[in-house]
Structure 1
Amino acid sequence: MIQEQNSRTGSALPDVQSSSDVRHIPIQRVGVKSVSYPVTVKTADGFMHTVASVNMYVSLPASQKGTHMSRFFRLLDETTQPLCKEVVEDLMQRMLTALHASAGTIEFEFPFFVKKPAPISKIPSLMSYRGGFTVTTEDGRTAVTEHVLAPVTSLCPCSKEISRYGAHNQRSHITIDAECAESVPLEDLIHIAENSASCPLWSLLKREDEKFVTEFAYDHPKFVEDISRDAAKALKDDPRIISFRLQVENFESIHNHSAYAQITFDRRAPLCD
């Protein structure tokens, strides 16, 4: 009986969000932020279950009072396929249709795990990274950006050159945000990041592995500028990547600050002399 009364009452409830607004001010982004949601992500070897932090926004015209927040969650519930370029593009189109919007942004960020064998002992362990997708639609154009944050080791060339023994080294973060012409496995972007550093990281290392990574980093000293240029070259050489923003941050071990570099690139931009 209560359900029947609620049903009859609900059919007559006013839709306040769709009413008009007299202030005549458009809103570029309105929606839900920091939604924790379980997702499946497409990987190079299959699928991985993880939990994403999700932001979903649409534009709101000056004439409309509000958007329909519950529809964002319904759209997430209806997204059952593993996340990849094509799936987030489809989610964007469904969001714009459901919210009657002309522009929007959806952001997924999540822990991403790769099983890596140690370099010498070959004992496998899970290494954690940050992964994500951002899809935007503006002025009729939809773009998908893939995101990875890879922790690596950097070793200072100057320290190695001027010291009789040893060289200072530190953990670094390489962040890649790449717009791709096709789905690119997040592992491919991680591989580019790790190959650009003095040495990759592993979760589990035995003594023989620790010896290897210590000596490997010493044999591959790189400034933050070296890491960023090497990574940028690899990204430019990949025809699947249309544009990117690359950031490298070295958490200096002998300074109370970080060293930082950023490189951006877009194949569509006109060439300059």
Structure 2
Amino acid sequence: MPPKQWSTCVARGETHPEAGNRHHPGTTGDRESPLPDVAVHAHSHPGGVLDWVGMNGIEMPVHFDAGNGDLQRASARVGLFVDLAQPDRRGIHMSRLYLLADEYLAVRPLDAALLESLLCALLVSQRGLAQRARTSLCFDLLVRRAALRSGHAGWRAYPVSIDARLDSDGFHLELGTEVTYSSTCPASAALSRQLIQQQFAHDFDATQPLEHAAVLAWLGTERGIVATPHAQRSVARLAVRFAEAAPLNLISLIDRVEHALGTPVQTAVKREDEQAFARANGANPMFCEDAARRIQRVLDDDDTIVDFHVRLEHQESLHPHDAVAQVSKSMSGKVQRDRCSASELAGGA
């Protein structure tokens, strides 16, 4: 481990399990003897430095305040990894990773400072073996959402992913989530309006005066809305990096993105809510390119966000494939469809 990084972890007061914690006393006849630990010994196989070694999919409770003061307890899937920087060593102290995750994550509120402390502790626990540490967490955040008109409310579950790393360049944290919304196709809306115009021209003689009551009645029939634009459920997958010491205010981020998009999906819906949603869609047609630029503007205007990457999917009702747009500030890589998958580790390393 680089001396600077090691001293930083020690200065934070991080501790590690005793060096012999894997060697519990055992009994052989009347004598106690240490349990064997083949992982810590040198090996004769061709050696090499390993990018990441650890545990993934650990089931762990976490406590997270997303910015509204509500400290929620969630069931998370946790990954813990360090590099194996010593090519002659067969393996790391794997169980120490799990015990440290339990110590840090199961009872303490989750924030950037806690994760940096956890990563320091992981490195200290692998002293002489590792120079970098990484953790990933995936869980759902429940948020109460009000209906558009009726006064009812319901729950939305927003997926949350956190990826934190500690290396010679310092501490890095990436926060991810998804916003689901409705997108009405502007081209389809224009084509539908043209068909309605044509139907109107067919049903009303241009040489005859129009009667208000007749037109009003016609607009309330199926002939008055002979075509409707297609809309689809759409998803914006966001990954952001906050400025140092900025709180992980996830709800504020979601609120601003949903406001920019204009048509987030709803929870409790009565007829007046559905009508309001139809009005919002009619006034808000957008291509995936439009949606990407709206989110880009919102994130660029936020001084607490130093970097971001967004991937949008308009899951077409016209086509069997999706329309996709991506926008970023400077972050490289991709926002994966499932950030909790095991393959994410290799993709983001």
TM-score, normalising length from structure 1?
0.90
Work out whether 1:30 is the aligned partner of 2:30.
Answer: no
User: Residue 176 of structure 1 corresponds to which residue in structure 2?
Assistant: 238
CA contact (8 A) 1:53 1:108 kept: yes
Q: Which amino acid aligns with 1:38?
A: P
Alignment counterpart, residue 156 of structure 1, candidates 176, 180, 185? 185
User: Residue 97 of structure 1 corresponds to which residue in structure 2?
Assistant: 124
How far apart are residue 260 of structure 1 and its match?
A: 0.8
Overall identity of the aligned pairs, in %: 27
How far apart are residue 169 of structure 1 and its match?
A: 0.7
Alignment counterpart, residue 87 of structure 1, candidates 105, 114, 120? 114
User: Residue 106 of structure 1 corresponds to which residue in structure 2?
Assistant: 135
Work out whether 1:65 is the aligned partner of 2:127.
Answer: no
Alignment counterpart, residue 186 of structure 1, candidates 250, 253, 256? 250
> Which stretch has the larger CA shift, 182-191 or 248-257?
182-191
How far apart are residue 65 of structure 1 and its match?
A: 0.7
TM-score, normalising length from structure 2?
0.71
How is 1:248-267 mapped onto 2 (pairs within 5 angstroms)?
248-266=312-330
Larger Rg over CA atoms: 2
Q: Deviations over 1:26-74 (max 9, x none)?
A: 1101111112222111122221111111111110021221012211211
Runs of 4+ in 1 over 3 A off after TM superposition: 3-6, 8-11
CA contact (8 A) 1:198 1:221 kept: no
Query: Using the alignment, how far apart are the partners of 2:138 and 2:184 within structure 1?
Result: 29
Q: Which amino acid aligns with 1:27?
A: L
- Matched residue of 2:166: which SS? strand
CA contact (8 A) 2:78 2:137 kept: yes
- Matched residue of 1:227: which SS? helix
Alignment counterpart, residue 41 of structure 2, candidates 19, 24, 38? 19
Work out whether 1:48 is the aligned partner of 2:72.
Answer: yes
Alignment counterpart, residue 205 of structure 1, candidates 269, 274, 279? 269
User: Residue 244 of structure 1 corresponds to which residue in structure 2?
Assistant: 308
User: Residue 340 of structure 2 corresponds to which residue in structure 1?
Assistant: none
User: Residue 230 of structure 1 corresponds to which residue in structure 2?
Assistant: 294
Q: Which amino acid aligns with 1:64?
A: R
Alignment counterpart, residue 195 of structure 1, candidates 256, 259, 275? 259
User: Residue 175 of structure 2 corresponds to which residue in structure 1?
Assistant: 146
Aligned-CA RMSD value: 2.0
